Every structure is written in structure tokens, then in C-alpha cells.
Structure 1
Amino acid sequence: MATTVSPAASAAATIERPKPGDAPVISQTRPVVPSWSGTRRVRATSSRSASGAQAVRLGQEAAALREGLVDVAFARLPDDLTGLRSEPVHTEPRVVGLPSGHALPERDEVSVLDVGDEPVMWTERASRGWVDWWAVNPRPDGSSPRWGPTNDNAEKMLEQVAEASATCFAPMSMARYYARPDPTWVPLTDVEPLRTVLARVDGTDSSLVRVHTCRA
């Protein structure tokens, strides 16, 4: 059955450029990648001191790496990872966010074609390829989404869904992370899952950042 969620703080955050000699900075977007069993646990270590964490806008993780704002990033595909090294860490299904009172939340799951007439939110801050992937453009039947309002962060996105301004597509972890009466989230059955990788700049000095993966 559908899961209801609530807004939280925006995924956007001010990022200070690391200074020489600083501990590694790990980038991640909210909601944080949830823990899971039977897959891989990821950690970043430094020989000098503990690592710090910064939040960046969804879809901007690779850019933050290339600009030197962070040393390691949890990036969500299809982010452009050209020139970066990456290790897959997590895969999760996508869901559609619908306002309270909508008929579809009564169902356990829906097709993306079931919401073809609903306006879908998008962002001007991401690449066209990123926007199209999240909006499932084109749809399985070759049709295009009905484009709705733009938004820049999770808080605004959830408010727009709650106000019935538009629908949105999001990872399942968002439905588990946020909690409020609306919007309501329903799993999508016919779209690609979201894949998360741990990325860093190719050739990063291993004395600064050493990325290890191990079985949980």
C-alpha cells in the first residue's frame, strides 16, 4: 500500500571549498542512502583526521567533485561521471508522489502511464538528460510528460505535490525518510530503478582519501 511522507530541510547547502590539508569531505544528498543488508557498506578514511560531510543539490554531486568542493560523493545516476571513478553501492525503486485525495494512492503500485495526464515537476538546475530520466521522457508508449512547475529542492517539491500543483517522481528512500499526511507515495512498476554510486576524481591522492568497500 502507499506510504505517506512529509517535508524536511532542503537538500541544498552552502559548501565551503576544502583547504589544503583538510580531512576528506564526503558529499551526499538528502535523504541519506539508507542502510541495507546483504550489500556493501562504504566508508571513507583519512590518515590525518576524521572526514566531514556536506550536502549538495540533487544531481550536482559530480560537479562538486570536479570543482574540488568535495573529495568523495554519493552520486545518483544518470549523473555524468566522465573522468570520475565510481563504485556501485545501492539500487532502489522509484515512486510517484501524489496529493491527498488522489484516486491512485488506493493502489499498491502504478504504471508511469497511469499518471501520464498529471503534470510532473522538474528542475532547471540539472542537465536535460537528468531531467528526462527522472520524468521518464519519453514514456514507454512514446508519449512525452506533461510538464509542470519547476523546483529547486525537496521541501519545495513536497509542498507543490501537497498543494496538488503537480506530481513528482522520487526514490523509495524519500518515502521512507519523510513523514507527514501528504503527499502520498506509490511505487512505479515500469521505470528504471535509481542507482547510487560512490564517486571520486580519478587519480585522487590515496594519502588524502582511501575508499574501502566491504561486505556488511
Structure 2
Amino acid sequence: MTVELRHFRCFLAIADTLSVTRAAERLHLTQPAVSRTLRQLEQELGVRLVDRSTHHLALTPDGLSFRDQAAIAVTAFDRALGQARRAAWPLRLGHAWSAAGTYTTALLRRWHEEHPDTPLELLRIDDRTAGLARGDVDAALLRGEVRTPGLLTERLTTEPRVVGLPADDPLARRSVLSLADLADRTLALNSVSGITTLDLWPTAARPASTITIGNTDDWIAAITGGRAVGVTTSATAGMHPHPAMAYVPLADTPPVPVVIAWRDGPGHPRIPDLIRLAREALGGPDDEPPR
């Protein structure tokens, strides 16, 4: 048997929904057809991709590893097919939150002025690499350390950390806060794409409790609703002002690096132009080599 693109699409539908039934609905196929296609793929690869031993499907370690590679292959095929049908080849720039902060508008406008024939699509994807590792975007603006294999990065700038508080919180009247000021508070942590963890605090002085959220919108809602406080960077304050929210500088923490990342290998031909423009727009050094 030859592995075909339909096998990849079938597996990705199962991986996204963790359900043969919902995957079949998405693909407009019968459940037996979806199960048969998955078995064919597993037999051809010689590995088990999906664990069917429980009432709920789960990807095996091999399935998790294969998912990103399958997504890249399908995306590349769709992009190539789309390019053959239209003149413009959009450059997709992902971000998990806050894009380029207050520099976002300048970056987008400068790109349009300098490269009007190549649309720059800014996409927020709630994922640790903003969809870059699985091929959803061509490049990404990321914060913190990027350790995902197969990605290259260039540091653009750094951002100071701030505390997000309800606007009527007594701490919101302060000009600056410290980690110790938050020790008796509930902390909202973005476990999907955020960079703040309890490791930011000394072990003996960590916040009393935490709540876990999955994106910036839910993070803001948890704080403005009075359920928690949060730690982010100055970019969030610039991109997400809110009448019920206050952002106060956090003094005793290191700044957060902001990087542009791209995959190591063939990619969109305009990626070098995007890296240069991002470096210029965010004010990063011109002589720092990619890492």
C-alpha cells in the first residue's frame, strides 16, 4: 500500500478531535472508512499512532511526534496547490499573544509598503510556538526561551514584566510591585502559551494558589472578574488595554526576550525580509547572528 495525503488528513482529523466519530463528520466519511484508513497508515508506518485501549482515544508518543510532521506535510501541499492557483503567496506570521506589542501596527504597515505583492497575515494561535512547529505559519513572534527542535530564532528585543490586576485592586494604586506583593494572591497561569510559572518566585514565597487558563482572553477575564492576578510583559499592556484592568511594573524580575522564529529548512522566500524588518521595527541589534 502507498501512503497518500488522505491518510495524513484522516490521522490529523482524529488527532484534532480525539474521536473517530467526529473525525468522520469532519471528513464527510463513514466511521468504518476512517478506522480503516488509520489502520492502513499505522500498518504502513509500522507504529501505533492512536491508543484505543480506553473509552477516549489518545495519541501515543509516536502519534504525538508524527502529528506535527503530518501537519507540516499537509500544509506544504495545500500551500503549493494554492500558489499554483493564485499569484500572491501570503507570508503567515504567528504569535501566541500580543504579537509585536506596540510595534505591531508599524511592522504590518511597513511590510505592506515595502512588499505590497506579498500579503503578511498575522495569526494568533494558542500554542507554545504559535503554530510554527506544526506548519500552520511560516514564522512566529515568540517570548521566552524557545527550545523546540527544528526551529531557528533571532532575538529582537526584551520586554519588562508587569502585573495585571483588577483596576479597583488596592495594589493597582502602586507605582511598582515586587514578587512578594503577590505571595498571598491567586495567580492566573496560561498553561498553553504563557511564559509565567511558579518558578519565577522563590520556593518559600510563591503565590498561595493558582488557576489555569488557556489564552489571553481568558486570562484577562479571570483578572477583571476578580478571580486572580497575573504576570505578563509590557506588550500585553499595550495590546490589551481594558477599563477594568490595571498593569503595574514588576520590579524584581528579569526582562523577557522577544524572538522571531522560523523552521530550519526550506520555507517562504520572504522570511529573510521579514526578519530584517522585524529587527528594524522592534529596535533589535543588527549585528546579532541568528541562533
Fold match, TM over 0.5?
Answer: yes
Question: Which residue, out of 125, 137, 159, partners 1:56?
Answer: 125
Confirm whether residue 76 of structure 1 aligns to residue 143 of structure 2.
yes
The CA distance in 1 between the partners of 2:196 and 2:155, in whole Å, is: 19
What's 1:157 paired with?
219
Q: Could you say what secondary structure the match of 1:35 adopts?
A: helix
The CA distance in 2 between the partners of 1:58 and 1:116, in whole Å, is: 28
Flag the 1:90–1:180 CA change in 2: closer, same or farther, 3 A: same
Amino acid at match of 1:88: R
How much has 1:96 moved relative to structure 2? 0.8
How much has 1:206 moved relative to structure 2? 6.2
Q: How many residues align?
A: 189
CA RMSD of aligned residues (A): 3.0
TM-score by length of 2: 0.56
Question: Which residue, out of 79, 97, 103, partners 1:19?
Answer: 79
Flag the 1:103–1:49 CA change in 2: closer, same or farther, 3 A: closer
More helix by share: 2
Q: Unpaired segments of 5 or more residues in structure 1?
A: 1-15, 37-41
- 1:188-207 mapped onto 2 (5 Å cutoff): 188-205=250-267, 207=269
How much has 1:175 moved relative to structure 2? 1.4
The CA distance in 2 between the partners of 1:158 and 1:115, in whole Å, is: 17
Amino acid at match of 1:94: R
TM-score by length of 1: 0.73
Amino acid at match of 1:194: V
The CA distance in 2 between the partners of 1:58 and 1:193, in whole Å, is: 22
Flag the 1:167–1:65 CA change in 2: closer, same or farther, 3 A: same
Are the aligned partners of 1:25 and 1:53 in contact in 2 as well (CA < 8 Å)?
yes
Are the aligned partners of 1:72 and 1:199 in contact in 2 as well (CA < 8 Å)?
yes
Question: Which residue, out of 181, 187, 193, partners 1:114?
Answer: 181
Name which one, 1 or 2, has greater alpha-carbon Rg: 2
What's 1:178 paired with?
240
How much has 1:56 moved relative to structure 2? 0.9
Are the aligned partners of 1:138 and 1:145 in contact in 2 as well (CA < 8 Å)?
no
Amino acid at match of 1:19: R
Flag the 1:184–1:204 CA change in 2: closer, same or farther, 3 A: same
How much has 1:215 moved relative to structure 2? 4.2
Amino acid at match of 1:54: L
The CA distance in 1 between the partners of 2:236 and 2:228, in whole Å, is: 17
Q: Could you say what secondary structure the match of 1:170 adopts?
A: strand
The CA distance in 2 between the partners of 1:169 and 1:176, in whole Å, is: 14
How much has 1:140 moved relative to structure 2? 3.5
Flag the 1:147–1:204 CA change in 2: closer, same or farther, 3 A: farther
Confirm whether residue 93 of structure 1 aligns to residue 152 of structure 2.
no
The CA distance in 2 between the partners of 1:147 and 1:78, in whole Å, is: 25
Are the aligned partners of 2:129 and 2:140 in contact in 1 as well (CA < 8 Å)?
no
Are the aligned partners of 1:100 and 1:182 in contact in 2 as well (CA < 8 Å)?
yes
Identity across the alignment (%): 21
Are the aligned partners of 1:121 and 1:150 in contact in 2 as well (CA < 8 Å)?
yes
Are the aligned partners of 1:96 and 1:168 in contact in 2 as well (CA < 8 Å)?
yes
Amino acid at match of 2:263: V
The CA distance in 2 between the partners of 1:136 and 1:78, in whole Å, is: 16
Q: Could you say what secondary structure the match of 2:188 adopts?
A: strand
Are the aligned partners of 1:85 and 1:199 in contact in 2 as well (CA < 8 Å)?
yes
How much has 1:121 moved relative to structure 2? 1.0
